Every structure is written in C-alpha cells, then in structure tokens.
Amino acid sequence: MALEPIKSVSGRGVYVAGDDIDTDRIIPARFMKCVTFDGLGALAFHDARFTPEGAKKEHSLNDPRFEGAAILLSNRNFGCGSSREHAPQALAKHGFKAVVAESFAEIFFGNSTTLGMPCVSLSHDEVVALAALLEESPETEVTIDVEGGVVRAAELCFSFTMKDAARDALLAGQWDPIGQLLESKDRVVEVADRLPYLRFE
C-alpha cells in the first residue's frame, strides 16, 4: 500500500534570506543528542533567532506576522554542510510543509523528500518577487502544485524545477523508503530466506 500522494501543498510563507544556509544553522549540533526528533521544531534556526541568554533576535521566524507559516522561502544552496537528518526534521516539526529556494544541497533535498516535504527551485528573480509579496502581504497563501509544476501566490505563478524522481515519488505516494520497506515485510522475509548467508542453523 502506498503512502499518501502529495500533489499540492499550501500555506502562508516566510522568507529566510541568505545563500548557503547550512544544516548547523538550521539545527545547531548541540541539539542533536535527542533520541527522537520530537521537540526539534522549537529549536529550528535557534542561534539565528536567540541570543545566548535566550532573548529574541530580529529574525523572520520571530516576526509575529509570519507565525504559523508552512512554506519556507530561501536562496541558493539551502541545506548545505553536514548531512544531518535533523535539519529537515526540525523544519518539519516546526510546521513547514515545503521549502522553496534557488537550489538545494543534495542530501538535504533527499532527506526532505523522504519526509514528504517537497523542495522546489525557482530562479533568483522569482524568489525575490515572491519574498517581496510575502513582506507586503504576509497573509498571502502560497501553493506548491507538485502535479502542475508551479508555485502560485496571489497574481504570481512560476514554474519550478524539481528532480523527476522526487516529484514522481511524491505524486505516487512512494516518498518514504522505510515505509515502503515495512509494508513489504513479507517479501523481505521471503528474499532473506533464499539467501544462504542469512540462514541460521
């Protein structure tokens, strides 16, 4: 049985500006001692949002106008740096359903896809235009039409780029390989029984 197909994602957006936003900025390494990913959402972008004493810094995720935003907008090479799975997990636990950026680091893109969180790319000028719209009208709903291949917000409509394999997996409800493996447990056992090096006698 397939997982839920992801054909479209909608919600208000927030712009987190910057090229090369790495996974340590998304979730600092000292918070990665957790056994599960629960609680990581509150720690997303922690050091960019808070002083060491815990006071709020000026940051778009601290701006009450963007509270509850579900679409994260950013710039080039988003999610670069170490391959920590905690980074997309922190974003998902924070409430983000999708990320729009100019480009993505390969491993971050893959880890996000397996969470069912689409990552789609727009040009620099398109990101700038969408960011300006969100700044002017924070209540604007952004829709990522995975099936149609476009990002829509108010009068804006941009065609996005996304790896075909990821797009196909989302649309087919096959975006979580672990889920697929667990659903195919009987077949896994059947194959294992045929492998001589997995037999215990």
Average pLDDT over residues 176-193: 71
In a domain, 180, yes or no: no
In a domain, 68, yes or no: yes
What is the pTM assigned to this prediction?
0.86
In a domain, 55, yes or no: yes
In a domain, 183, yes or no: no
Helix/strand/coil (H/E/C) assignment for every residue in 117-161: CCEEECCHHHHHHHHHHHHHCCCCEEEEECCCCEEEECCEEEECE
Look at 34 and 58; give whichever has higher pLDDT: 58
CA dist 140 → 102, 103, 135 (Å): 20, 23, 10
| Of 60, 76, 74, 59, nearest in space to 135 by CA | 60
How many domains is the chain partitioned into structurally?
1
Phi, psi of 132 (to 5 degrees): -65, -40
Range of the domain at 22: 8-173
pLDDT reading at 201 higher than 60: no
Residues 112 and 52: their CA atoms lie apart, in Å, by 29
pLDDT reading at 4 higher than 80: yes
In a domain, 181, yes or no: no
Residues 96 and 90: their CA atoms lie apart, in Å, by 9
In a domain, 198, yes or no: no
Using pLDDT thresholds of 50, 70 and 90, give the confidence band for residue 83: confident
In a domain, 118, yes or no: yes
Average pLDDT, the chain: 91
> Hey, which residues does 119 pair with through a beta bridge?
99
- Report the CATH number that the domain containing residue 78 is assigned in CATH: 3.20.19.10
In a domain, 197, yes or no: no
Structure confidence by residue, pLDDT tens digits, 120-160: 999 999 999 999 999 999 999 999 999 999 999 999 999 99
Instruction: Indicate the angle between helix axes 106-113 and 164-172, nearest 10 degrees.
Output: 10
